Amino acid sequence: MTDATLSFDEAMEKYDPVLGFEVHVELNTKTKMFSSAPNVFGDEPNTNVNEVDLGMPGVLPVVNKTAIESSIKIGLALNCKIAETCRFARKNYFYPDTPKNFQTSQYDEPIAYDGYLDIELADGTVFRVEIERAHMEEDAGKLTHMGGAAGRIQGADYSLVDYNRSGVPLVEIVTKPIEGAGSRAPELAKAYVAAVREIVKNLGVSDAKMERGNVRCDANVSLRPHGRERFGIRSETKNVNSLRAVEHAVRYEIQRHAAVLESGAPVIQETRHWHEDTRSTTSGRPKSDADDYRYFPEPDLVPVVASREWVEELRATLPEPPAARRKRLQADWGYSDLEFRDVVNAGVLDEIEETIAAGATATVARKWWMGEIVGRAKNADVDPGQLGVAPATIVELNAMVPAEIVEKRGLAVVSDDGPLLEAIDQVLAAQPGVADKIRAGKLQAIGAIVGGVMKATRGQADAGRVKELILERLGVEG
């Protein structure tokens, strides 16, 4: 069941997209938002929990001070005002991933509000995104629905609950409606989420790994005919969890909305689910502004008071903002605007900085990363950093040219399928869950296997070929 879409160009001819984002950032505090249980990713299910996280009778929450500091830092980095006093509220709804059947969140009193973020697009255009608010809340547990269709709760035979994530501190960053992006809306969407991710990573307040759900994006899209003031009806695509997916989801929704509007039908206000495999969205549940969560101030917590002294102390600890850092690095490295932008867009800024730190010149570092590694990563559909190439290796490798030495040291590109298949089988066996996901059609999961194989072959395999072989091995159509 696929929805009709218009081509992107046709959509742009008639309509003007309006975007809005809710980005959830998981903080990397030692303990949870309201309990002393550890905040650790990837442990055995239901081990990082105590009576508070499980919502046992009689428990009470206590706010994590570090989480408040992190939230204030995020607010400051987003040029927000910091509330002198703010409260938590209860968002009441029954769902088994929320042990208390309410989520403790901020409602009408966010800790940070009225900010902005200047987003630099690939061609250097700067677009200002206004931030409405950044508020604190707790994450829910993680549900895994077994049996039934597509991992959804409807029709599942049973569901598994992992409360390790329950109570993990979150900051939700909400933009004001973003108007005027026009045909650059998908690009802006990706660049905005990338900028938020970069900021929280740079602040050190989040591990900022999208693949782990540390940064999750809900993308709101609506269209209006050119020249009209009033916004159209929006859809909210939930949990778009990679930068490229953000771009694709926004593009897809623009095309889908355009087709609906062209047909004369109204757009339905609803949540949508993003599917990486088909690069399309499907209808979730209807969402109306009348959803009644019966918010009221959390009576078990006292207001958070952020004295101006404390805020200024925290402001003084903020690291160099990423945009300023880029300006500095470009000047230090002597790259042209175009060269530097390519490096940034390829996502290898950190890698080049580390390679230079390991002893390479700026030119050599750029040559290896942009000339060799980025292309392979692209073929393999993984991030360059996932290929497992260490900066020190590049320095070493560069010193080893000419080629015959490379070959002698076993560093030549491995193109013989035999050793590759061996490595693939080992990696697949070590990650059966990932293999299952790929078999189930979640092709984006393949990155983990490709990464593993590249690591095993010390980055010397042809990633494109590795990908083909994995799909063959699992009997999946590419």
Partner 1 sequence: MTETHSELFRLSAAALAEKLAAREVTAVEVTQAHLDRIAAVDGQVHAFLHVNSEEALAVAAEVDAIRAAGGAAAEELHVLAGVPIAVKDLIVTIGQPTTAGSKILEGWHSPYDATVVERLRAAKMPILGKTNLDEFAMGSSTEHSAFGPTRNPWDLDRIPGGSGGGSAAAVAAFEAPLALGTDTGGSIRQPGAVTGTVGVKPTYGGVSRYGAIAMASSLDQIGPVSRTVLDSALLHQVIGGHDPRDSTSLPDPLEDLVAAARTGNVEGMKIGIIKELHGEGYQAGVENRFNEALELLKGAGAEIVEVSCPNFKYALGAYYLIMPSEASSNLAKFDGVRFGLRALPKEAPLTIERVMAATRAAGFGDEVKRRIILGTYALSAGYYDAYYGSAQKVRTLIQRDFDAAFAQADVLISPTAPTTAFKLGEKLNDPLAMYLNDVATIPANMAGVPGLSLPGGLADEDGLPVGVQLLAPARQDARLYRVGAVLESLLEAQWGGPLLEKAPSLTDADADSSTAATALSHGGSH
- The residues that touch partner 1, with contacts defined as CB under 8 A, are 51, 54-63, 90, 92, 94, 96, 99-102, 153, 159, 161, 290, 292, 294-296, 299-302
**C-alpha Rg value of the chain to the nearest Å:** 24
CB of 145 or CB of 176, closer to partner 1:
145
Cβ proximity of 83 and 109 under 8 Å: yes
CB of 288 or CB of 336, closer to partner 1:
288
Distance CA 143, CA 460 (A): 38
The full DSSP string for 319-359 is: PPPHHHHHHHHHHHHT--HHHHHHHHHHT-HHHHHHHHHTT
Cβ proximity of 267 and 233 under 8 Å: yes
Closest approach of partner 1 to the CB of residue 301, in Å: 5
CB of 96 or CB of 182, closer to partner 1:
96
Closest approach of partner 1 to the CB of residue 366, in Å: 53
CB of 116 or CB of 295, closer to partner 1:
295
CA distances from 473 to 197, 437, 456, 463 (A): 35, 14, 17, 15
Closest approach of partner 1 to the CB of residue 148, in Å: 12
CB of 34 or CB of 335, closer to partner 1:
34
CB of 292 or CB of 309, closer to partner 1:
292
Closest approach of partner 1 to the CB of residue 90, in Å: 5
Token output for 392:
């020190």
Token output for 291:
């959803």
The full DSSP string for 169-235 is: EEEEEEEPPB---GGGHHHHHHHHHHHHHHHHHHHTS----GGGTSEEEEEEEEEEETT--S----E
Closest approach of partner 1 to the CB of residue 22, in Å: 20
Residue 168's region, left for phi above 0, alpha for psi from -120 to 50, else beta, is beta
CB of 103 or CB of 241, closer to partner 1:
103
Closest approach of partner 1 to the CB of residue 312, in Å: 25
Closest approach of partner 1 to the CB of residue 89, in Å: 10
